[in-house]
Amino acid sequence: MTNLNRRRVLFGGAAVGAGALLSACTSNTPAENTQVNTNQDTEANPNAAPGQKVIIGFSAPAADHGWIAAITNNAKAQAQAYSDVEFRSVEAGADAAAQRAALSTLIAQKPNVIVLLPHDGKELNAAGLQAMQAGIPVVNLDRAFPDPKAYRLQIKGDNFGMGVAAGTYIGEQLKAKGVAKPIIGEIPGIDSLELTQERSAGFKQALATFGFTVANRRPAEFTADSGQRAASDLLQALPKMDAVWNHDDDQGIGVLAAVNQANRKEFFMVGGAGSKAAIDAITADNSVLKATVTYSPSMASSAISLARLIGQGKGMSDLVELQVPKEITLASETITKENAAKYAKLGF
């Protein structure tokens, strides 16, 4: 775990929708490691039949993070699965201002639908409004726009539920060990993001049901390097610890590096997102990492599928309603050594 910049295998998680048939490649080429809905049985799923051509514009931050890379790869692969979809991707740039400029160019091209993972939901809310006012439905992915008028569909992971899942697992494990007053650490991601705040709120609430609290909290930035720095600070602040939740498995590579360098083994750790590296470590059971809670990048595949339906004026075939729902939130599941084999193929 000392090579903090090593390439991770990218492989999305489970797709939204009952009865979705999923296929994946196991090559080390990132573009091939995708989780895609390949159900083309038009008799079982009438929506699979080729229909009106849909031009889908797409924008997400640069793929310098395993989860973000999986988002972009999944979106591209899902679009390629449809003969009636044209995929137009625009660079998001280094910050919200650059992404706004790129989106203005995309909006001028008048795609049928835009799928957008913003640098920051609040800062890109105006871009969502601009597209919607131009008659282009927006699928807001992961980082939520605060204004419901800025999107036609919002699809994201359950950030609060992620925290609840992590806090519940830690609480149950500590209670089972008979630890009455545990020392619990937390390493969140970028603290200014609403999703980070939601994760921490869920974690705090779940721990409270056991009578536990967080002793120290050191934010990182969703990168291995920042995870190593935050973990080093946390380990110095807490000479003894019983458990820690690290919000993100990519930054968790650095967290584990710091733990190994400090030769600390007295606590256990829960990760976040469900990366292949984390699932492999949990299976091997040779580190402090004992579980991770999912936040699947396959939401991008589902976003493309749903954007196609919106562009064609269709609803979801398993639902009675004639339109795609306004909000979809994916559940967060807990991966442990006991069920890791089941989730291994879903790690990104």
The CATH number of whichever domain residue 70 belongs to comes to 3.40.50.2300
Residue 118 lies in a domain: yes
Per-residue tokens: 177? 């060990």
Give the DSSP H or E segment for 317.
none
Are residues 285 and 319 located together in one domain of the fold?
no
Are residues 251 and 132 located together in one domain of the fold?
no
Residue 317 burial (C-beta neighbours within 10 Å; 0-12, 13-18, 19+): middle
pLDDT recorded at residue 10: 25
User: Residue 269, by phi and psi: left (phi above 0), alpha (psi -120 to 50) or beta?
Assistant: beta
Q: Are 110 and 131 in contact (CB under 8 A)?
A: no
Residue 242 lies in a domain: yes
pLDDT recorded at residue 46: 77
CA–CA separation, 337 and 341 (whole Å): 8
pLDDT recorded at residue 2: 33
Are residues 179 and 265 located together in one domain of the fold?
yes
Are residues 92 and 209 located together in one domain of the fold?
no
pLDDT recorded at residue 41: 62
Q: Are 226 and 251 in contact (CB under 8 A)?
A: yes
CA–CA separation, 346 and 337 (whole Å): 15
pLDDT recorded at residue 212: 98
β-bridge pairing 153-157 and 138-141 = parallel
Residue 5 lies in a domain: no
Per-residue tokens: 276? 């292949």
Are residues 136 and 210 located together in one domain of the fold?
no
pLDDT recorded at residue 17: 29
CA–CA separation, 323 and 107 (whole Å): 23
Q: Which residues form the domain of 164?
A: 159-294
Q: What is the pTM of this model?
A: 0.81
Give the pLDDT of the chain (348 residues) as one tens digit per residue: 333 333 232 222 222 222 232 223 222 333 445 667 665 666 667 788 899 999 999 999 987 678 999 999 999 999 999 999 999 999 898 899 999 999 999 999 999 999 999 999 999 999 999 999 999 999 999 999 999 999 999 999 999 999 999 999 999 999 999 999 999 999 999 999 888 999 999 999 999 999 999 999 999 999 999 999 999 999 999 999 999 999 999 999 999 999 999 999 999 999 999 999 999 999 999 999 999 999 989 899 999 999 999 999 999 988 899 999 999 999 999 999 999 999 887 788
